[in-house]
Structure 1
Amino acid sequence: MNTEKLLGLYPNAQKKNAPSPDEHILSLIVEDYFLWIDKNSLSAQEENLLKALFQTTYSLENHPWFHYLFEEQAYVSEESCRIIQLHLEKRAEFLQKEWQETIAELFPEALDFFLYTETDGLIIERKHPNYLNTADLKGIFLSLDVDFDLTTQAFVGSFHTSGQNLTAMFDEERKIFLNKQTQIQVSDQTTSIQELALYYYTKELVTSSQLTNEYQEIIRGFKMEEIIIELWKNFGNISSAAKQLFMHRNTLQYRIEKFDEQTGFNLKKADDLLFCYLLLLHT
């Protein structure tokens, strides 16, 4: 059930970008918003049903970054930092206390770390010389998943300076992460904004265009999907792409030239390759 359907059922509910600090408000995560519903308007059965269907949020007293990011309260930090968003899929008996202690040890430069729902958390990490890149973080979270018998989706935000509007930056990064969870099919559980930005920021434009829909059909008609993706992954290098496709280089060269001849898309040119790859992101 999406936000608009819930608003139809509960017309006095409010769609917000942050959870409610009021204990009399039921704060639900629906799509990429928080939905506030006055508990006085709900029966006990309705409240329990909504809690079972949707994630509810905590209000965290001892975490200043929670109040800063979600409740727009003042928090002054002179350091550049990034926000790593986590979503947990727990199995069996989750050793939450031990997991949180391990996270704290692995991120000693964290300015704050907390779960704001049963399954969603944030690590706010200051920029330091030995910070881990996304590839390193992938390995760490995979190891933790094995040790604690869970699956972690992580989204590594960019470093932002203290002068930037960090709450607005976080709100946008959070929506990208939620979009990834529900709509973007990627093999890696740990991703960064750089890996998802191209899809997220072009989705509406590409999916609403009749012209791009026609181009997508052309690519599918020539069965060029795999070739375009491997060329993109290999920076346009035909020899490297041919190896990944288990195809002779000359065969791949012929397919590329034939595609160019029939469609006008020259996959040896960076602009053409980028455009075709972009079309495949939204098929």
Structure 2
Amino acid sequence: MKIIVCIKQVPDTNEVKIDPVKGTLIREGVPSILNPDDKAALEEALRVKDQHPDTHITVMTMGPPQAEEVLIEGVAMGADEGILLSDRAFSGADTWATSNTLAKAIEKIGRYDIIFCGRQAIDGDTAQVGPQIGERLGIPQVSYVEKFYLEEGKIRVHRALEDGYEVIEGQSPILLTTIKELNEARYPSIPGIMRAYREDCIKVWTYEDLDIPSTDIGLDGSPTQVKRSFTPEQKGAGEMLEGTTDEKVGSLVQKLQEKNLI
């Protein structure tokens, strides 16, 4: 069985700040992590490999050279190889251009049985790339996967809904987008870390390696344009009330009356 897992390196959202003048993300000094939903996708692929040792797992990402770090992490966790799509021609891509590029890279790989993607990346929250890849490849897709079963060649998943779940069955090839509640990801192993750094497990593909028009990638292939990003203005600091319980209740009532709220 061949599984492809699409992952992404994202800034740790707890540390993200926005330049108040330029309205852009300040990435300098901000730590990067493997997107949580993507980590669940990778873990589920690794669990398939635990049950079927002949499974081959490829982790793939698109980004600048430093995005290789998440591929190394993926190999250290147990994936067989990583593919980094990195070229200045890919920069500025929205979800449309990103899915174009990833789909072409998957076509270049050739045969596959399952494509796992995280539901969405925490730096964009669009949840569009996975389904777009499935559409471009012309294969079935199921989003919001919270449980996954592989039984006698059949794929059965629970798709999370607001008030429950629905059970969907399918056959390969298929694309699944996962949520982080699907599982708890394992840590990289010591042998895995040594292999990831010692062996030539990561390939780098540029624009020249893909059979894709320049008008379908990067900024030129992106119909979505972000006009401005900004942090909402702070509405005011909270106030802690001191004293006994009766004193704090009385003070609270007085302040609410002053604001004509009661």
Quickly name the TM-score band, shorter chain normalised: under 0.3
**TM-score, normalization by structure 1:** 0.22
Give the structure, 1 or 2, with the largest relative contact order (CA under 8 Å, sep 6 or more).
2
The structure that is helix-richer by fraction is: 1
The structure that is strand-richer by fraction is: 2
**TM-score, normalization by structure 2:** 0.23
